[in-house]
Amino acid sequence: MTNPKSDAYAVLLPAIDDLVLTDPLAGFLDEGGRAFLIGETRDEYVGRAMSKARRATETADDIRNLTQQIHGRAGPALVALDQEPAGICRLHGLVAALPDDLSAASSGEIERISFDIATAARGMGVTMFLSPVLDVVTGRNPWLSGRTLGTDPDEVARVAAAFIRGVESAGIISCAKHFPGHHDIDGDPAIEVATVSGGAGDLVPGMIPMRAAINAEARAIMTGPALVPGMDPVMPSSLSAPTIGRLREMGFTGLVVSDDLDAIGTLRGERNVAGAAIAALAAGSDLLLLSAANDLEEIRTRILAAVSDGTLPEARLADAAARVRALADSTEV
């Protein structure tokens, strides 16, 4: 029997930029939350590196202390962070590093080191990496600068697949991103309304690494935060039923994760975070990334109201929550 109140928390992925489990977040976990993102500050995100202070003082035990609190309240949980092969590495020097020049590394070497990184992360209680970045950027992209794997789709596919195999074989869930690809975008969707240029044909090369990620058995894929008219001219990807439908048509059966619902590119001045959450669920997203600074209880209330008034089918909410719980349960050792 489903419990919509618990389900509405199970589908949320709140992000923090420190290692503090506040009372509201503890309540979120106690009342059904099953996912949590250990994030970074905006400066660290923009700089593609953790701060000097964090690197000097943060230890594996600090990470482990937080994850033990999370698992102690939620049980098996999706404890996620950004650990990108060529971008943001939330675990900085706490884990091994991949070679700077991944194009010169063999697939076997990438897979082996990725396994080692994921094994160390598992030891800290982490269960999901929001990576690798699959976007093949051939034009403008201020959002993903310094985070991508190159401009050759086949090479991006090779490196990404090796990373995914290594991570998944160590028991960490890989969440590849950002479907359907952002080859050329006119702004940073995190902070401004941004649109991907071109039509459906322009997205075709970027589908090569997307298919490789599916074939490598990534258990989660994240949709993007911008409008991609070549896929859906109306709704940004994380709120787009045609976009998520296309991902499913490609054979992906895992967890669909929305990108940050706080992103201006997703809100586009027309909706608030709660409205975006409802739209994302209705479109087929299963797990919704958002800042923990949001009033999670209010968002849950809005989701439940949408179920009550028929805007969001209760079966869709229940299905999304069941997918999150099943994946979280699969991480238990």
How do residues 66-103 score in pLDDT, each as one tens digit? 999 999 999 999 999 999 999 999 999 999 999 999 99
pLDDT in tens, 263-273: 999 999 889 99
Quick one: pLDDT at residue 180?
Answer: 98
Quick one: pLDDT at residue 270?
Answer: 85
Instruction: Give Cα 33 to chain centroid, integer Å.
Output: 16
Average model confidence (pLDDT) for the chain? 97
C-alpha to C-alpha distance for 161 and 165, rounded to whole angstroms:
6
At 1, is the pLDDT very low, low, confident or very high (cuts 50, 70, 90)? Answer: low
pLDDT in tens, 137-151: 999 999 999 999 999
C-alpha to C-alpha distance for 188 and 64, rounded to whole angstroms:
33
pLDDT at 2 over 80: no
Q: How many residues does the chain have?
A: 333
Of 189, 229, 224, nearest in space to 210 by CA: 224
Q: What angle do CA 145, 168, 218 make, to 5 degrees?
A: 60
pLDDT in tens, 193-223: 999 999 999 999 999 999 999 999 999 999 9
**Helix (H) or strand (E) segment spanning residue 209:** helix 207-215
What is the mean pLDDT of the segment spanning 126-143?
97
Of 264, 252, 317, 318, nearest in space to 291 by CA: 264
CA distances from 186 to 3, 135, 142, 233, 261 (A): 42, 15, 8, 15, 19
Quick one: pLDDT at residue 25?
Answer: 98
pLDDT in tens, 98-127: 999 999 999 999 999 999 999 999 999 999
Question: Based on the number of CB atoms within 10 Å of its own CB, is 296 exposed (0-12), middle (13-18) or buried (19 or more)?
Answer: buried
pTM for the full predicted model? 0.97
Please enumerate, as own/partner, the contacts of 14-19 that have beta carbons within 8 Å and a separation of 24 or more: 14/290, 14/291, 14/292, 14/294, 14/296, 15/39, 15/260, 15/289, 15/290, 15/291, 15/292, 16/292, 17/41, 17/42, 17/44, 19/58, 19/62, 19/63, 19/65, 19/66
